[in-house]
Amino acid sequence: MNVYTCVDHGGHWPVGVASVVVAQSEYRARQLLEAALSKEGLSHQGFTLQELDTSKDHEVILNNGDY
């Protein structure tokens, strides 16, 4: 399985958003996130997925609240 992050999809407020998706492929990750966003009534047009490297220890700050 692969891990993908997204920090540019639609949200309820004009502040940052962050999502994590676990899926076999980027295509499937996009399907899953689109469905989750639709369920929340959020826009799912034009977001970016970034695959996380799970082969080594590291950290990723998805949203630090600075806008």
Domain boundaries, the chain: 2-51
| Topology (CATH level 3) of domain 2-51 | Ubiquitin-like (UB roll) (3.10.20)
pLDDT value at residue 18: 92
Compute the average pLDDT of residues 49-64. Answer: 94
Compute the average pLDDT of residues 1-26. Answer: 93
Instruction: Give the torsion sign (CA, 12, 18, 23, 26).
Output: positive
Compute the average pLDDT of residues 11-38. Answer: 93
Compute the average pLDDT of residues 36-57. Answer: 93
pLDDT tens column, 14-27: 788 999 999 999 99
Cα radius of gyration rounded to whole Å, the chain: 12
pLDDT value at residue 30: 97
